[in-house]
Amino acid sequence: MRFFDIDINKAVHFASVKYNSTFGTSGVMVYLGSGVYFIDIDTSSLGLGDYYFSFNSTLEFYENQTAIDLIHLKIIAQPLALEVPSGAINAMANSYATCQVNVTGAISGDPLFGNANMTTDWDNPYHITNDTFGTFTLNFSTFDIPAQGVLESFTITIFANKTNYGATTGFITIIVNPIQTNADANNSIVNAHLNEHLQ
């Protein structure tokens, strides 16, 4: 904040400027020069909501100045974001396709700790594991696919939501390869004469 003498239009130097907050933090501000006073407060532990800062400044020969709720700090939830693999995930038939996704804040890009709800539109069974620190491992069953014995591609929608962060979706592509088989035939040559029966 800036402490200014409006009568002579000059900054007030080296005043004692104290602050209080509605979340319990209080102290004395640091003077930076040119009438500017500064505080550095860690707000990472605060929940969503409204918080206020009040100030009181004193200096010899100056009238005490008090400003109640001068600064309004509003902590809001940032939107949710999903970081999904950018390339296709290759898997074999009758197995599992596995990938990891990260749940982050859309503004900060930082991982969001704690529980998030995650589902998919995959028709086969799947399993989601919360690996903590905003990372989830997804296992998709590829049993009974591909149906035609040729390579198939599937796009899966991932749905995620977290309290106070909202919901978002992401997309994963899985390429399922059929199980390879070999067909062997007896290739020996048998000579037969006309009108002769072979057994």
Output the pTM of the full model: 0.61
- Nearest CA among 37, 47, 101 for reference residue 70: 37
The residues near 158 (Cβ < 8 Å, ≥ 6 apart) are 82, 84, 101, 118, 119, 120, 138, 169, 170, 171, 172
Secondary element (H or E) of residue 170 = strand 166-177
101-139 pLDDT, tens per residue?
A: 999 999 888 888 888 999 999 999 999 999 988 999 999
Element (H, E) at 91: strand 89-92
Of 88, 79, 89, the C-alpha closest to 116 is 79
| Residues 6+ positions from 44 with CB-CB distance below 8 Å | none
Decide if pLDDT at 195 tops 80. Answer: no
- The predicted-structure confidence for 25-73, as pLDDT tens digits, reads as follows 999 999 999 999 999 998 888 988 999 999 999 999 898 999 999 999 9
Which CATH code, of 2.60.40.1260, 3.40.630.10, 3.30.450.40, 2.60.40.10, is assigned to 80-177? 2.60.40.10
Confidence (pLDDT) at 23 = 95
Note the pLDDT tens digit of each residue in 129-174.
999 889 999 999 999 988 888 899 999 999 999 988 889 999 999 9
Which amino acid, one-letter code, is at 166? G
Give the pLDDT of residue 6: 86
